[in-house]
Amino acid sequence: MSELLQFTFSGLTVGAVYALVALGFTIIYNASGVVNFAQGEFVMLGGMITVFAHAAGAPLPAAAALAVVATAAIGILLNKLAIERARGASVVTLIIITIGASIFLRGAAQLGFDKQLHRFPSFSGDDPIAIAGATILPQSLWMLFGAAVVFAALYLFFTRSLTGKAVLATANNKLAAQLVGIDTDFVMALSFGLSAAIGALAGVLATPITLTSYDAGTALALKGFAAAMLGGMGNPFGALVGGLLVGLIEATTAGYLSSDYKDAAAFVVILAVLFAMPQGLFGKSAQERV
The answer to whether 31 touches 170, Cβ cutoff 8 Å, is yes
* CB of 276 or CB of 287, closer to another protein: 287
What's the rounded Cα separation, in Å, for the pair 171 and 177?
Answer: 9
Shortest Å, Cβ 182 to another protein? 6
Shortest Å, Cβ 289 to another protein? 6
Q: Does 90 bind another protein (CB under 8 A)?
A: no
From 2, 90, 124, 172, residue interacting with another protein (rule: CB under 8 A): 172
Which letter does DSSP use for residue 130 in this model?
A: E
Q: Is 229 exposed, middle or buried (0-12, 13-18, 19+ CB in 10 A)?
A: buried
From 178, 211, 222, 273, residue interacting with another protein (rule: CB under 8 A): 178
Stretch that binds another protein, among 134-142, 149-157, 182-190, 210-218 (CB under 8 A): 182-190
Stretch that binds another protein, among 39-47, 85-93, 103-111, 282-290 (CB under 8 A): 282-290
* CB of 177 or CB of 270, closer to another protein: 177
From 125, 129, 148, 284, residue interacting with another protein (rule: CB under 8 A): 284
Closest CA to 10 of 252, 268, 262: 252
Q: Does 289 bind another protein (CB under 8 A)?
A: yes
Q: Does 160 bind another protein (CB under 8 A)?
A: no
Q: Does 175 bind another protein (CB under 8 A)?
A: yes
From 182, 209, 226, 266, residue interacting with another protein (rule: CB under 8 A): 182
Segment (H or E) for 74? helix 60-78
Q: Does 233 bind another protein (CB under 8 A)?
A: no
Which letter does DSSP use for residue 15 in this model?
A: H
Q: Does 181 bind another protein (CB under 8 A)?
A: yes
The answer to whether 248 touches 3, Cβ cutoff 8 Å, is no
Q: Does 260 bind another protein (CB under 8 A)?
A: no
* CB of 111 or CB of 179, closer to another protein: 179
The answer to whether 40 touches 218, Cβ cutoff 8 Å, is yes
Q: Does 169 bind another protein (CB under 8 A)?
A: yes
> Would you mind telling me the total number of residues written for the chain in this entry?
290
What's the rounded Cα separation, in Å, for the pair 241 and 13?
Answer: 13
Q: Does 183 bind another protein (CB under 8 A)?
A: yes
Kindly report the number of other CB atoms within 10 A of residue 151's CB atom: 21
What's the rounded Cα separation, in Å, for the pair 91 and 211?
Answer: 33
What's the rounded Cα separation, in Å, for the pair 94 and 83?
Answer: 7
Number of chain positions touching another protein (CB under 8 A): 21
Q: Does 173 bind another protein (CB under 8 A)?
A: yes
The answer to whether 234 touches 29, Cβ cutoff 8 Å, is yes
The answer to whether 10 touches 72, Cβ cutoff 8 Å, is no
* CB of 196 or CB of 228, closer to another protein: 228
Shortest Å, Cβ 198 to another protein? 22
Binding site for another protein (CB under 8 A): 162, 165-166, 168-169, 172-173, 175-184, 284, 287-289
